[in-house]
Chains A and B, each alone.
Chain A
Amino acid sequence: GAVVSQHPSWVICKSGTSVKIECRSLDFQATTMFWYRQFPKQSLMLMATSNEGSKATYEQGVEKDKFLINHASLTLSTLTVTSAHPEDSSFYICSAREWGHSNQPQHFGDGTRLSIL
């Protein structure tokens, strides 16, 4: 079945550094990918919709300059947390659905646990 690979699964870094998270669709093409953020014991909150070849669409309250999204190909989207601070520590999950298959469910990556010291 369709698989979405997310890397890294866990990252710890110092405050002020930038962290890049990759999301790849391994056996299908995805013109759109979604980035979610999940705080402990809470639900998934949509951060942005990543569109191949164009700008991402950010949800209200999400800083586009803080969370840079690049969707350079039909199989890869990246989320870069710039100048990360402890409050950016969270669980980030990407998901994608195969292009042209609106009746198919979204496939999720295994998530990235980001800890900022």
Chain B
Amino acid sequence: AQTVTQSQPEMSVQEAETVTLSCTYDTSESDYYLFWYKQPPSRQMILVIRQEAYKQQNATENRFSVNFQKAAKSFSLKISDSQLGDAAMYFCAYRLPNSGNTPLVFGKGTRLSVIA
């Protein structure tokens, strides 16, 4: 079974600084998707960034980028120029690419605090 591990229960970063959240996963598949979701206090699940395993290039979305190391099964999230609004729970997630019926497998999450 696939598992996702986030080894940092809590992280903090100064406003405008950079922080990296770690995620590792275990799978025997070669094709899959990886995601980072943000969950603010409102508890909405907000997609931050996604990565297809077959793509070697790391995904980026504005201030958010990933370091995808397929051989090491590592998928870290880097947040640059951190803002107060970035404070939230961050979940790393994995999914197989089958059409429609494969659920996301989530890590336990990392709570990010941003210090003004």
Looking at A34, A42, A43, A51, which has the most chain B CB atoms within 10 Å of its CB? A43
* CB < 8 Å A-B pair total: 59
Nearest-neighbour CB distance to chain A for B60, whole angstroms, equals 16
Task: Determine the interface band of chain B, counting residues with CB < 8 A from chain A.
Answer: 20 to 34
- Contact, CB under 8 Å: A102 / B99: yes
- Contact, CB under 8 Å: A110 / B99: no
- Contact, CB under 8 Å: B107 / A111: no
Interface of B is mostly: loop
- Please judge, given known A-B contacts A43-B109, A105-B35, whether A111 and B44 are in contact too, CB under 8 Å: yes
Nearest-neighbour CB distance to chain A for B87, whole angstroms, equals 15
Q: Is A49 an interface residue (CB 8 A)?
A: yes
Find chain A residues with CB under 8 A from B100 CB.
30-32, 97-102
Cα-based distance from A93 to B35 in the complex (angstroms): 17
Given pairs A41-B111, A43-B109, A46-B104, 6 additional interface contacts (CB within 8 A): A46-B105, A93-B45, A99-B100, A101-B100, A103-B52, A106-B104
